[in-house]
Structure 1
Amino acid sequence: MSKTHDADVAFIQALAELLRTNDLTELQVKRDYGQDDSLNVRVSRKMEQQVVQVAPSAAPAVAAPAPAAAAAAPVASESDDPAQAPGAVTSPMVGTAYLQSEPGSPAFVKVGDTVEEGQTLLIVEAMKTMNQIPSPRAGTVKRILVEDGAPVEFGAPLMIVE
């Protein structure tokens, strides 16, 4: 950018607010003002990842944690990182995780279920496309690490199948 535009500061502040209000982790924008005059802006933030474990007998609506319950949970050590578990199923994309095919229908799987390789575990919606996430191996669902309708990042652990 060759000269300062007064509106740029307000524009960057608006991008930061958009990031917060929409729970985004990153935005990148390029504004062209003319020949050899442009503004490239990349605004990003680090989001804390919340891990939710659903009890085998609890219904998904009951399993959603209250903010007080999340605060009372013990702090996990680095060795307890679900992404490092041998049976971790991670998200292949950024999107929104859904544990059932549509609202009101039963969940694809629940903790304790035995699954086959290739069986659908959940759906990740990305850009209005529903992507089925298959089980990479046969085994038992040990933990469900995401809530229904929760945003997920690329590589985020979704479930533990051992």
Structure 2
Amino acid sequence: MSNDSKDGKLHDGDVAFIQSLAELLNASDLAELSVKREYGEHDRLTVSLSKQGKQVAMQAMMPAPAHPAPAPSAHAASPAATAPAAPASEDPADLPGVVTSPMVGTAYLAAEPGSAPFVQIGQSIEEGDTLLIVEAMKTMNHIPAPRSGTVKRILVDDGSPVEFGAPLMVVE
């Protein structure tokens, strides 16, 4: 790893941030993750992670940030909010009534950490009801139910990254 900081040292906050990013990448369907922050001429952080099989390759230039790197927010999913695991041969995107993500971002099942989820499995909903939020570029986008029905499955965990077209829920 190369370093562009004035003191040339790797800081604990940077290491923890990179480890958190690597864990996020391993726990998601994402193939690549890149973060770049610049605070000044000699004060920047560039992290690029990519999946290669089960290995995660890390390449980083570690600075001495003027501001400590924020820790990724942890949103615990309620056990009642997630569906039982589907059989391995069943592709959730092929299920009837699947609701897909209209954008790349982070899915949140509740309005804020610790509050009740927007919907639960077995709940009857009306067209237009908020199913969840996808945060993209610091904007919270409410994802409405495309039809009235019953929530049959929730296919994402609270706080998990989603890609465009990724299946989020099944509403029948």
Instruction: Give unmatched runs, 5+ long, in structure 1.
Output: 1-6, 8-16, 29-41, 49-59
* 1:154 to partner: Cα distance: 1.0
Residue number in structure 1 paired with 2:158: 148
Partner residue of 2:88 out of 76, 94, 97: 76
> SS where residue 86 of structure 1 aligns?
coil
Q: How does 1:3-42 map to 2 (within 5 A)?
A: 20=22, 23=25, 25-26=31-32
Q: How does 1:126-137 map to 2 (within 5 A)?
A: 126-137=136-147
Q: How does 1:75-114 map to 2 (within 5 A)?
A: 76-77=88-89, 80-114=90-124
In our comparison, the structure showing a higher alpha carbon Rg is 1
- The alignment yields a C-alpha RMSD, in angstroms, of 3.2
Residue number in structure 1 paired with 2:79: 62
State whether residues 97 and 150 of structure 1, in contact with CA within 8 Å, keep that contact through their aligned partners in structure 2: yes
Partner amino acid, structure 2, of 1:26: E
State whether residues 81 and 120 of structure 2, in contact with CA within 8 Å, keep that contact through their aligned partners in structure 1: no
Residue number in structure 1 paired with 2:169: 159
Instruction: Give unmatched runs, 5+ long, in structure 2.
Output: 3-17, 35-47, 55-76
1-structure distance, mates of 2:53, 2:80: 22
User: Alignment identity in percent?
Assistant: 63
Which deviations, in whole Å up to 9, do the C-alpha atoms of 1:60-103 show, x marking residues without a partner?
433589xxxx9xx68511xx111111100001111110000011
1-structure distance, mates of 2:108, 2:135: 8
TM (norm. structure 2) is 0.56
State whether residues 25 and 47 of structure 1, in contact with CA within 8 Å, keep that contact through their aligned partners in structure 2: no
Q: Greater helix percent: which structure? A: 1
Task: Say if 1:160 and 1:46 are closer, same or farther in 2 by CA, change over 3 A.
Answer: farther
Which deviations, in whole Å up to 9, do the C-alpha atoms of 1:8-56 show, x marking residues without a partner?
xxxxxxxxx898466253368xxxxxxxxxxxxx9854799xxxxxxxx
Work out the number of aligned pairs and report it: 116
1-structure distance, mates of 2:163, 2:22: 16
Task: Say if 1:47 and 1:151 are closer, same or farther in 2 by CA, change over 3 A.
Answer: farther
Partner amino acid, structure 1, of 2:32: E
Partner amino acid, structure 1, of 2:79: V
